[in-house]
């Protein structure tokens, strides 16, 4: 099997590199998009078309080391991130950085920065809500496993009254799941509008 020759890596123009770093504020666009993690990251500038000779700004994105490695890897074990996913995540991140900026502290309240401060607080509240959703999902999964176990036990014992009770509990659980999904969708829509 012959390997294709690697394309020569050309140094990214310093002005282009600076533009990518400033627009991203050294935030990984995939961390922000997938995990709502807006912390500054150690990372690298990735070539989205995987051509190291293409140093055009629209072909570059700042990714943390983990996501850059996953984006560039070739494996049949999982689906890698796509060009479209990273491009969309980068656009959302650039919009957030442009609107909110990213500083270690909240900006002081003044007429000029009241809107960015409100948006920052909304994003922070959205992240807290996202964490609450994750905790609630874990609780629901544990509860579903317990109900499934009880239902099997009652069906094996042919205790139809208790089995029916378990099915009613399962229906209530699915109602809760629907409510959580709707709330989570509303929060995500609000966050993506920022």
Same domain, yes or no: 68 and 110: no
Give percent of the chain above pLDDT 70. Answer: 73
Same domain, yes or no: 18 and 98: yes
Same domain, yes or no: 24 and 87: yes
Same domain, yes or no: 119 and 168: yes
Q: From CA 17, how far away is CA 12, in angstroms rounded? A: 6
The pLDDT, as a whole number, for residue 102 is: 57
Q: What are phi and psi of 185, to 5 degrees?
A: -60, -45
The pLDDT, as a whole number, for residue 94 is: 87
DSSP 194: -
The pLDDT, as a whole number, for residue 108 is: 43
Same domain, yes or no: 2 and 97: yes
Same domain, yes or no: 45 and 132: no
**Which residue range(s) make up the domain with 98?**
1-102
Query: Which residue, of 102, 125, 145, is where some domain finishes?
Result: 102
Higher-confidence position of 12 and 185: 12
Same domain, yes or no: 121 and 134: yes
Same domain, yes or no: 80 and 129: no
pTM: 0.51
Give the pLDDT mean for 107-117: 48
Same domain, yes or no: 27 and 4: yes
Query: Which residue, of 102, 134, 157, is where some domain finishes?
Result: 102
Over 50: is that where the pLDDT of 131 sits? yes
Higher-confidence position of 136 and 161: 161
Q: What is the pLDDT of residues 60-85, one digit of tens each?
A: 999 999 999 888 887 766 678 888 98
Provide the mean pLDDT of the chain. Answer: 78
pLDDT band of 110, cuts 50, 70, 90:
very low
Query: Which residue, of 66, 82, 102, is where some domain finishes?
Result: 102
Same domain, yes or no: 1 and 97: yes
In total, how many domains does the chain have? 2
Q: From CA 25, how far away is CA 122, in angstroms rounded? A: 20
Same domain, yes or no: 63 and 21: yes
Over 60: is that where the pLDDT of 88 sits? yes
Same domain, yes or no: 8 and 84: yes
């Amino acid at each position: 099997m012959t390997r294709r020759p690697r394309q020569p890596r050309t140094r990214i123009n310093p002005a282009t590199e600076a533009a990518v770093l400033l627009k991203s504020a050294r935030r990984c666009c995939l961390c922000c998009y997938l995990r709502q993690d807006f912390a500054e990251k150690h990372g690298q500038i990735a070539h989205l078309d995987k051509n190291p000779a293409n140093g055009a700004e629209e072909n570059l994105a700042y990714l943390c080391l983990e996501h850059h490695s996953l984006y560039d890897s070739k494996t049949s074990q999982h689906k890698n991130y796509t060009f479209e996913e990273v491009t969309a995540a980068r656009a959302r991140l650039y919009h957030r950085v442009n609107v909110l900026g990213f500083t270690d502290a909240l900006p002081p309240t003044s007429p000029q920065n009241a809107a960015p401060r409100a948006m920052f607080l909304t994003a922070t509240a959205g992240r807290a809500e996202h964490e609450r959703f994750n905790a609630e999902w874990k609780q629901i999964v544990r509860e579903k496993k317990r109900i499934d176990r009880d239902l099997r036990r009652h069906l094996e014992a042919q205790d139809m009254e208790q089995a029916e009770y378990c099915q009613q509990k399962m229906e209530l659980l699915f109602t809760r799941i629907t409510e959580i999904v709707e709330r989570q969708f509303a929060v995500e829509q609000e966050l993506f509008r920022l």
